[in-house]
Amino acid sequence: MSQPSNHFVKNTILKLLGAIGSEKEIKKYIQKFSSPEQRFAVIKVGGSVIRDDLDNLITSLVFLNQVGLKPVILHGAGPMLSDQLEKDNIEFSFIDGQRVTSEKVRDVAQKVFIETNKLIVDNLKKQNAKAVCIYKDVFNCAKGKSELGLVGNIQSVDVSTINDALENDMIPVISPLGQDPNEVLNINADLATIELVKAIKPYKVIFLSETGGIFNGENKLIETINIALEYQELMEKSWLHSGMKLKLEQIKTLLDHLPKSSSVSITQPINLPKELFTDSGSGTMVKHGFRIKHYVLPNDRVENKFKKIIEASFNKKLVPNFFAETNKLNVFMSSCDRATIAISGDHHIPYMDKFGVLPEAKGEGLGAGLWHEMRKTYPQLFWRSRANNPINNFYMSICEGCQKRADWHIYWIGISDYSVLQDCIEFAVTKPRSVI
């Protein structure tokens, strides 16, 4: 394990800041995360991340510290513990992912956890971030299943030392060690994270891992998961392997105990600033989510809500005759009324006329959830977007084809016939503006 030098950290922070996003976005998130109403974040760091990616971990945490944010860190040390047990010739095994803990294993675990904790804290201190080791008095336990040995079932969490640290501007770094009235007990770090999160109820829960997210059947990172809409569907997928299934189950449990505003992100240490301080992030973000409602217009109430979202999101006015002049308008809207899509029947192939998300709701995964639901109804679709619209990166990633004209980019899905496509493109480029 190497130690990052001061010079390295400074350079990396500069690189990160320049590369991650606009100043406006970064400021928006710093403000959100500094709210006195809710603790900022619990960050779970897996043992292998500490072993193999310590430099980036420390750099990202120092970066948070420098912008005035204090996360609560809970670390694991599984691989180091296994290495040490092997070195010491102590046998060990697992039952359902939990380490069977004899007295010998417990003693080594305690030593390795404390060493790992100190390693993180010492490296943070070297970069002038204030941090404190906490390896006892947080998790009050009862002994769990007898076949697991000295493994703790958490009965209550005492957050007083954590709060003291935060109030003194220190980053608390916590080991998954507990105690019953008689002795020290080993705790699975993921289970400790769940109980810690329930006690702290932070705005963000972050899992730092080597892979940095959940990947789909094509091995593509899933950027956002909306539990209310997608949980069942995802759990049935054959490509979601058992480790990820368990993780998603745990995340759902976590979200059930957190306020609606909270979310869980899985990312890599190097991408943590980007995940936190940009709308699009870098990793998988999981939210409680929302339901999607589908309306066929006319409907005055929906038209009013639609107009509000579109005008705020484009910072322009909807043309006065928009509803009167659009045929068979189908509107999809998030149950929180903060994102909407309109599909018009003006052309024989469905045309996506509008897609808007309220500026303050960007980064919550609303757009992606809405898109996902709308696509279930519309396998064939085309739309246009201004050449300089920042959403074009997203459109590029989801369309099957695109033609770039001077003013407009035209995108489509499910259209393979060349003459039909020409017709659609012609329709899109000549269509009058609907926001001014």
265 binds ligand ARG (CB under 6 A): yes
434 binds ligand ARG (CB under 6 A): no
- Which region among 47-55, 143-151, 277-285, 421-429 touches ligand ARG (by CB under 6 A)? 277-285
Task: Residue 43: name the closest of 110, 120, 96 by CA.
Answer: 120
Task: Residue 269: name the closest of 416, 104, 57 by CA.
Answer: 57
Say if strands 177-179 and 184-186 run parallel, antiparallel, or are unpaired: antiparallel
User: Smallest distance, Å, CB 23 to ligand ARG?
Assistant: 14
268 binds ligand ARG (CB under 6 A): no
Write a three-state SS string for 125-169.
HHCCCCEEEECCCCEEEEECCHHHECEEEEEEECCHHHHHHHHCC
262 binds ligand ARG (CB under 6 A): no
188 binds ligand ARG (CB under 6 A): no
285 binds ligand ARG (CB under 6 A): yes
139 binds ligand ARG (CB under 6 A): no
Q: Which two tokens stand for residue 104?
A: 């010998």
In angstroms, the CA 44 to CA 197 distance is 10
358 binds ligand ARG (CB under 6 A): no
Task: Residue 287: name the closest of 262, 313, 259 by CA.
Answer: 262
Q: Which helix (H) or strand (E) holds 324?
A: helix 322-325
369 binds ligand ARG (CB under 6 A): no
Q: Would you say 116 or 284 has its CB closer to ligand ARG?
A: 284
Q: Is 301 exposed, middle or buried (0-12, 13-18, 19+ CB in 10 A)?
A: exposed
Among 283, 289, 367, 369, binds ligand ARG (CB under 6 A): 283
In angstroms, the CA 185 to CA 191 distance is 13
User: Smallest distance, Å, CB 355 to ligand ARG?
Assistant: 17
- The strands making up 152-157's β-sheet, listed across from edge to edge, are 152-157, 139-143, 177-179, 184-186
User: Smallest distance, Å, CB 33 to ligand ARG?
Assistant: 8
User: Smallest distance, Å, CB 365 to ligand ARG?
Assistant: 6
Say if strands 98-99 and 131-134 run parallel, antiparallel, or are unpaired: unpaired
Residue with CB nearest ligand ARG? 281
342 binds ligand ARG (CB under 6 A): no
User: Smallest distance, Å, CB 74 to ligand ARG?
Assistant: 18
76 binds ligand ARG (CB under 6 A): no
186 in a labelled binding site: yes
- Please tell me what DSSP assigns to residue 319: P
Question: Which residue matches tokens 């990633």?
Answer: 397
Q: Which helix (H) or strand (E) holds 74?
A: strand 72-75
Q: Would you say 276 or 329 has its CB closer to ligand ARG?
A: 276
Q: Would you say 60 or 224 has its CB closer to ligand ARG?
A: 224
User: Smallest distance, Å, CB 370 to ligand ARG?
Assistant: 14
Q: Would you say 286 or 318 has its CB closer to ligand ARG?
A: 286
Contacts of 296 (CB under 8 A, 6+ apart): 328, 329, 330, 331
Among 9, 16, 29, 46, binds ligand ARG (CB under 6 A): 29
223 binds ligand ARG (CB under 6 A): yes
255 binds ligand ARG (CB under 6 A): no
275 binds ligand ARG (CB under 6 A): yes
224 binds ligand ARG (CB under 6 A): yes
Write a three-state SS string for 357-375.
ECHHHCCCCHHHHHHHHHH
Q: Would you say 32 or 307 has its CB closer to ligand ARG?
A: 32
Q: Would you say 271 or 330 has its CB closer to ligand ARG?
A: 271
- Please tell me what DSSP assigns to residue 317: P
User: Which residues are near ligand ARG by CB under 6 A?
Assistant: 29, 204, 223-224, 263, 265, 275-279, 281, 283-285, 363, 365
Q: Which residues are annotated as a binding site?
A: 77-78, 99, 186
